[in-house]
């Protein structure tokens, strides 16, 4: 149920809802430290409330903030993978955030599959355990995505980078690689992670744009030629370019954005750049 703004008043720790003329329903709110910082910012006049939604479990209070988006001269491209997030800036920097998202999904998939085998013997116990582990898997994946997105946005804010990402909206329609790989890719949290990066960046005044992902990992960012993997796992081109697949995708995104590529953006030049590895 969405509340009309004229029918409620938000007090921060409670909500007053008009049910009849001069008759009100007061609902006390329970929230954690993360939500408290938004409420404190609202009390200071830095945020406004949006349209409040109520369901049988919770009350959703959106907050709005007016921001002036920067017009950066430098951009950072972000390539989201199953086990890590790689970012390359035009500055240049190479940032690699290693995550446990894939391990989390694989571990809970095996646990849930084991519980499902109990259904025919102990159906009530199995249903309770399925709810428990499914909820725990969702919460841990969400927490991991928040941590990764916060590290990336903090890094971009430190250097005043605009953010470039791939438009992966319809990618699941084209996933058909076999039972095991399909299961892995369909549990991949790329959209959730992109959403978290998007709104966190815009709250900091950093612009976010999306580019077509076609060919980002298979075309040379220097000459546009077709890349081929070598025996060391690097993508190589006839022009002399050699890099790993993730960095190549980021360089292609920068090129598509028409952002300046790192000077001498070859494998040798990029190897001189500090590679930052963050364990989330």
Average pLDDT, stretch 29-57? 89
Are 90 and 254 in contact, with CB atoms under 8 Å apart?
yes
Pairing of strands 162-166, 75-80: parallel
Query: What pLDDT score does 225 carry?
Result: 84
Greater confidence (12 vs 123) lies with 12
Strands (E), the chain: 8-10, 14-20, 23-28, 48-49, 53-54, 59-60, 63-64, 75-80, 84-89, 94-98, 162-166, 208-211, 228-229, 235-236, 242-243, 275-279
pLDDT at residue 192, rounded to an integer:
87
The yes-or-no verdict on residue 208 having pLDDT over 90 is yes
Domain annotation for the chain: domains and CATH numbers: 5-64 (no CATH), 75-100+136-279 (3.30.420)
Per-residue model confidence (pLDDT) at position 118:
76
Contacts 24+ apart (CB under 8 A), 271-278: 273/92, 273/93, 273/94, 274/93, 274/94, 275/94, 275/96, 276/93, 276/94, 276/95, 276/96, 276/155, 277/96, 277/97, 277/98, 278/95, 278/96, 278/97, 278/98, 278/151
pTM: 0.78
In 117-262, which residue ranges form alpha helices assigned H by DSSP? 123-159, 179-186, 190-203, 245-256
């Amino acid at each position: 149920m969405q509340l009309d703004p004229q029918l409620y008043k938000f007090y921060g720790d409670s909500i007053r809802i008009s049910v009849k003329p001069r008759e009100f329903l007061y609902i006390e709110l329970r929230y954690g430290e993360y939500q408290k910082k938004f409420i404190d910012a609202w009390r200071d006049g830095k945020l406004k409330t949006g349209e409040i939604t109520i369901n049988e479990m919770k009350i959703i209070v959106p907050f709005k903030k007016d921001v002036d988006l920067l017009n950066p001269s430098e951009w950072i491209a972000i390539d989201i993978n199953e086990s890590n997030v790689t970012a390359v800036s035009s500055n240049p920097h190479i940032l690699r955030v290693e995550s446990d998202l894939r391990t989390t999904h694989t571990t809970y998939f095996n646990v849930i599959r084991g519980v499902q085998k109990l259904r025919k013997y102990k159906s009530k116990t199995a249903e309770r355990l399925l709810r428990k582990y499914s909820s725990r898997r969702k919460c841990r994946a969400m927490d991991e995505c928040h941590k990764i997105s916060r590290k990336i946005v903090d890094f971009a804010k430190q250097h005043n980078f605009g953010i470039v990402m791939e438009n992966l909206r319809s990618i699941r329609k084209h996933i058909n690689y076999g039972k095991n790989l399909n299961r892995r890719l369909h549990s991949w949290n790329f959209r959730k992670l992109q959403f978290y990066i998007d709104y966190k960046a815009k709250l900091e005044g950093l612009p976010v744009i999306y580019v077509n992902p076609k060919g980002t990992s298979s075309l040379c960012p220097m000459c546009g030629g077709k890349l081929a993997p070598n025996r060391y796992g690097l993508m190589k081109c006839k022009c002399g370019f050699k890099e790993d697949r993730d960095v190549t995708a980021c360089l292609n995104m920068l090129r598509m954005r028409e952002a300046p590529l790192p000077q001498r953006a070859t494998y040798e030049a990029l190897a001189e750049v500090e590679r930052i590895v963050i364990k989330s």
